[in-house]
Structure 1
Amino acid sequence: MVKQKTILNEVSLEGVGLHTGQQVKMTLKPAPINNGFSFVRVDLEGSPVIEADATYVVNTQRGTNLEKKGVKVQTTEHVLAALVGCDLDNVIIELNASEPPIMDGSSKFFVEAVEKAGVVEQDAERQEYIVKEVISYTDEKTGSEIILMPSDSYQVTTMVDFGTKVLGTQNATLKSLSDFKEEISDARTFSFLHELETLLDHGLIKGGDLNNAIVYVDKEISANTMEKLKVAFEKDDINVTPNGILDNLVLNHPNEAARHKLLDVIGDLALVGIRIRGKVIANKPGHLVNTQFAKKLSKIIANEQKNTIPEYNINQEPLMDINQIMAMLPHRPPFLLVDKILEMSDSHVIGLKNVTMNEPFFVGHFPGAPVMPGVLTIEAMAQAGGILVLSSVPDPENYITLFMKIDKVRFRHPVLPGDTLLFKLELLSPIRRGICHMQAYAYANGKMVTEAELMAQIVKK
């Protein structure tokens, strides 16, 4: 079992935002299990949180930008790539502006900050999406394509063709995340001169200078453009090297542009929110196609998780039988609706109920065509979840569990006498102050019959 990881200590970096030009302080902080990566805008009232989630992508012009309830975070990809490249699962990223510092245009300084902070294992299993079949996405307008195929580990290959003499076809490959620091992290962002002119005219790179972006000169520089560049970069003189790069900046790698595109792919696919075990092949990648693929993959994973039915051996002794359940739950027949607990960890529980014709509710609920009331299916799932939250205290017999919220309920199929109901509940956030927020599923006859988000709190009797 691979454990989740976070950083041991908080660590801060300061710099300027590439597009905003604002001075910004970014602090990386340890995060609890199942938190994932999340941004916190400490400069705004209430310190709103934006999770690193593909559903919040609103713009991919010159970076991947997230927005939740009107709160924005810009250019998220470099810091997210560093966190994935350092094999982390849970980190809180505090910002006192809308954009992380650009530093030198790569992930190098973020990786060094993580190393300074230290890495620690957490007491929870890492979730991983194992790719079983080819998944692809194509942008018909640009010809950009991303393919994800089965592999024993997370690997990424990028193939780029910029169609210019100064920067033609390049490829880059990362065979293991353990190579990210040495092979990918120092690959800097880049731009072509014709793009740079447009960005300058629209005031979109206020924090740019020749130390945090490679500029490839793909056209002759006019005297007017040269003066604009001098002003923008606060330089008395600007030169073009023989290899077509502004101001004698030395490349870290011959294929640095392709390596940076690979860095961007890793950062953007971090928005899927789960570790990927598979090989990514990205042809002409960019933030738009990367994030569109991330959204598609997120939906596929969510759908598979919903329909992944827990497997159990009917001959195996359960983790908790009915007597052990009654020692923990205050419910009693006919309102005790869980027969067995099959599996449990700090973040999930799997329970079982055998639905029989002599259930008391069948007497009056559709006697001629008995169907288990949907609200009782919800209650049964909640009781299984109650076992999970009560297990977090040393004296569960002194507590009862009370509902706080039921949300996103879907009844998909009826539950009938003779069915065996399986419940799977997973924490959506760590248990705090006895409050448990869970995603709950119920299955019968090889199908999901009910799903819901449940929130409950344990209180002293």
Structure 2
Amino acid sequence: MNIKQQTIQKAVSVSGVGLHTGVSATMTFMPAPANHGFKFQRIDLPGQPTVDADVDFVVDLSRGTTLEQNGARVHTVEHTLAALVGLQIDNALIQLDGPEPPIMDGSSIKFVEALQFAGIEEQNADRKYFEVSEFVHYRNPEKDIEIAALPLNDYRLTVMVDYNSQVISSQHASLNDLTLFADEIASCRTFVFLHELEMLYKQNLIKGGDLSNAIVIVDRDVDEDELDHLAKMLNKSKVGVNKQAGILNNLQLHYPNEMARHKLLDMLGDLALIGRPIKAQILAARPGHAANVAFAKKIKSLIQKNAQNQVPQYDPKQPPIFDINRIAQLLPHRYPFQMVDKIIALDESSVIGIKNVTMNEPYFPGHFPGNPVMPGVMQLEAMAQTGGILVLSTVPDPENYWPYLIGIENCRFRRNVLPGDTVIFRCEFTSPMKRGIVKMQGRGYVNNNLVCEADMIASLVKKK
């Protein structure tokens, strides 16, 4: 799984009719900055309101997942979100000039192809995974639905469907590697049983549905009169049934278990509404949109409960954003005052830096001899230098500026920092920059424990 966040390199569009609304629309995927997430934008409405792809904004689950926020509604978002998650894209603005993404062929493949054509770009920010650390379970006994998440240092999904149908036996589908999504899951189409079809039409759903964007499963005997009626309803001159396959109009399946694979696709899209990539093994029996969303809410509630305990994570095997040489090019500090060894994440509003504390630091012989403790002022200096990198990132030519620390407030030292410790500093803007002045909050962690924190004010001054 990716370490860094990703967006697309350029805008790309697809057009078509919406499955349930029947309204034609163009959907444009736009690049977005780090930590933006997925947002839909209804550019056909006054003010062009946005809708966050968040489980808190789900308002309808009638044969699809519908979001509403800021007076704007977006129908059937799951296939679009599945394409983004399946390609490990983290940030995108999805513009729509209608109420629903185009259904295309009923799968995610056209979206995947468009996104691949646009190109994928890595960003200077770590992915903010939520790692499931305990068994999470959802059950709907009335519909015999179960979904579970188990701890795993990866993201894998397994789905089982069973419709008690003579046409479709129990089916399983698995995705054990997201890089296989485009080839093995993305092309699997939505489906409906014949006994549901007329009911959906009467409920004013699937206005844009036809045999080019859905698999219709014939799960009972039909005579010629009913076939003629179906042909009229589907705007076809004639439809037939392959009785052996049980598929209307002799449509060929992409896979024997295409229905289970499509349910996995739906689940991948619905779980994107958690708002963060997750690490877990997902096991689902007979899932649907309502169950997927209920399960996503359980995961999101866990994330919110654990939010106060989350600290930046450091993997020394991953290459840094800036190494010690690049830091020296940006900051006006040299030994023994260059206090930051690596920058491992940097985006528009935050930065994460690493300070490896060794016994060779020049202040240890004179600071608490026999009981070496890193001076608080040095911790603060290392934090300020990390913040200096963030401040310099706001200008296109950082080598031409000096970052100055001009104010410190609410400074606290929580634990001793000792030789051998690795301090992870995270600084983030708490106010927009005005006339070269900006406020930041900085925190330092050792072994997941907060060791120091401060609110800082910095000034950015152009070199003369």
When normalised by structure 1's length, the TM-score is: 0.73
Question: Counterpart of 2:307?
Answer: 305
Partner AA of 1:110 in structure 2: F
CA distance in 1 between partners of 2:100 and 2:65 (Å): 11
Alignment of 1:55-66 (within 5 A): 55-66=56-67
CA distance in 2 between partners of 1:208 and 1:133 (Å): 41
Question: Counterpart of 1:198?
Answer: 199
Partner AA of 1:306 in structure 2: Q
Deviation at 1:305, TM superposition (A): 2.5
Question: Counterpart of 1:168?
Answer: 169
CA distance in 2 between partners of 1:72 and 1:457 (Å): 42
For structure 2, the residue ranges without an aligned partner over 5 or more in a row are 315-323, 325-331, 334-338, 354-383, 417-423
Question: Counterpart of 1:354?
Answer: none
Question: Counterpart of 1:270?
Answer: 272
CA distance in 1 between partners of 2:287 and 2:385 (Å): 45
| Paired residue secondary structure (1:278) | strand
Change (3 A) 1:275 1:227: same
| Paired residue secondary structure (2:241) | coil
Question: Counterpart of 2:84?
Answer: 83
Deviation at 1:400, TM superposition (A): 7.8
Change (3 A) 1:427 1:7: farther
Change (3 A) 1:416 1:252: closer
| Paired residue secondary structure (1:127) | coil
Alpha carbons 1:390, 1:396 under 8 Å: kept: no
Alpha carbons 2:42, 2:99 under 8 Å: kept: yes
Change (3 A) 1:189 1:132: same
Question: Counterpart of 1:45?
Answer: 46
Partner AA of 1:24 in structure 2: A
Question: Counterpart of 2:263?
Answer: 261
Alpha carbons 2:387, 2:442 under 8 Å: kept: no
Question: Counterpart of 2:346?
Answer: 346
Change (3 A) 1:7 1:213: same
| Paired residue secondary structure (2:346) | coil
Partner AA of 2:277 in structure 1: R
| Paired residue secondary structure (2:253) | coil
Deviation at 1:346, TM superposition (A): 2.1
Instruction: Note the alpha carbon deviations across 1:213-252, whole angstroms, 9 max, x for none.
Output: 0011123336665444222321111111121111111111
Instruction: Note the alpha carbon deviations across 1:386-411, whole angstroms, 9 max, x for none.
Output: 8676343544658989xxxxxxxxxx
For structure 1, the residue ranges without an aligned partner over 5 or more in a row are 313-318, 320-326, 329-339, 352-382, 402-414, 449-453
Over the residues paired in the alignment, what is the CA RMSD in angstroms? 4.2
Deviation at 1:141, TM superposition (A): 2.6
| Paired residue secondary structure (2:21) | coil
Deviation at 1:133, TM superposition (A): 2.1
CA distance in 2 between partners of 1:297 and 1:10 (Å): 31
Partner AA of 1:290 in structure 2: N
Question: Counterpart of 2:289?
Answer: 287
Structure 1 stretch 156-165 or stretch 419-428: which is displaced more? 419-428
Equivalent residue pairs, number: 396
Question: Counterpart of 1:15?
Answer: 16
Alpha carbons 2:136, 2:150 under 8 Å: kept: yes
Structure 1 stretch 300-309 or stretch 8-17: which is displaced more? 300-309
CA distance in 2 between partners of 1:427 and 1:284 (Å): 45
CA distance in 2 between partners of 1:234 and 1:457 (Å): 66
Deviation at 1:425, TM superposition (A): 5.6
Change (3 A) 1:397 1:107: closer
Change (3 A) 1:238 1:435: farther
Question: Counterpart of 1:249?
Answer: 251
When normalised by structure 2's length, the TM-score is: 0.73
Alignment of 1:23-42 (within 5 A): 23-42=24-43
Question: Counterpart of 1:213?
Answer: 214
Alpha carbons 1:157, 1:281 under 8 Å: kept: yes
CA distance in 1 between partners of 2:86 and 2:439 (Å): 30
